[in-house]
Amino acid sequence: MLDAWGHVSIRHPVNPDRYLLSRARAPALVAADDIMEFDLDSNPVDQRGRRVFLERFIHGQAYRARPDVNAVVHSHSPTVIPFSVTGEPLKAISHIASFLVKEPPVWEIRDVGITQGLLVTNNTQGESLAKTLGDRPVALMRGHGNVVVAPDIKRVVHRALYTEVNARQLATALSFDRPITFVAPDEAQDPKRLDDAWEVWKTEAMQGG
């Protein structure tokens, strides 16, 4: 779900007031040397002439607002867009996406003011997005994409992937025009182990798939 524009970050493992994000580069091409360190205002700590992501404020403000969050994905996950512009709730219909029982809110950038189209380009917009996210794992960004947060990198990748998959499945279910049974809160369960899935995702990423 990370096309040429998405990004993934983690909180710094020893300094919780910093986070790690690649320089501005398509996620599929990122190498170890591209990883940069930022403070929670999203100032680069050691820029060395590297170009930084315009939308890094999404990450900094999510870490500031959520001490429980150690990994963030921002993507333009294609099938969440229809849910971000219609008011149709993106709720969990499958067990593996049951983190979506906490229904993702939709963030409206115009509530705080636009600067460059629908892109997040400053801390005021980032803070507003984090406020809309609240204590949930996912928030949709109207006409743009989503922000996904988790306690660790494996879980954030799982959530970002299955937000897209659940959106696709829900769009299919809605096309049947029949009542839908959503996953109930007492049925929701985070996967206990993600190590096997992580191995597959890592292999696919390394192969450029």
Binding site for Zn ion (CB under 5 A): 55
Instruction: Determine contact, residues 163/75, Cβ cutoff 8 Å.
Output: no
Which CB atom, from 16 or from 143, has the smaller least distance to Zn ion?
143
Q: How far is the CB of 136 from Zn ion (least distance, A)?
A: 19
Whole-number minimum distance, CB 11 to Zn ion, in Å?
20
Strands (E), 3-90: 7-11, 18-22, 35-39, 71-75
73 or 93, CB closer to Zn ion? 73
Cβ proximity to Zn ion: between 89 and 143 the closer is 143
Q: What strands lie across the sheet with 71-75, from one edge to the other?
A: 35-39, 18-22, 7-11, 71-75, 145-150, 138-141, 106-107
d(CA 22, CA 164): 23
Minimum distance, C-beta of residue 186 to Zn ion, in the bound complex (Å): 35
- Between 55 and 164, name the residue whose CB sits nearer to Zn ion: 55
**Minimum distance from residue 96 beta carbon to Zn ion (Å):** 25
Tell me which residue has tokens 């985070």.
Answer: 190
Query: 89 and 151 in contact (C-beta within 8 Å)?
Result: no
Closest residue to Zn ion: CB criterion: 55
The 3-state DSSP class for residue 84 equals helix
Q: Which residue's CB is nearer to Zn ion, number 22 or number 98?
A: 22
Q: Which two tokens stand for residue 119?
A: 């892109």
Helices (DSSP H) in the chain: which residue ranges? 57-65, 80-86, 123-133, 153-175, 195-206
Residue with Cβ nearer Zn ion (4 or 180): 4
Shortest Å, Cβ 60 to Zn ion: 15
Find the shortest distance in angstroms from Cβ 145 to Zn ion.
5
One-character DSSP codes across 167-183: HHHHHHHHHTTS---PP
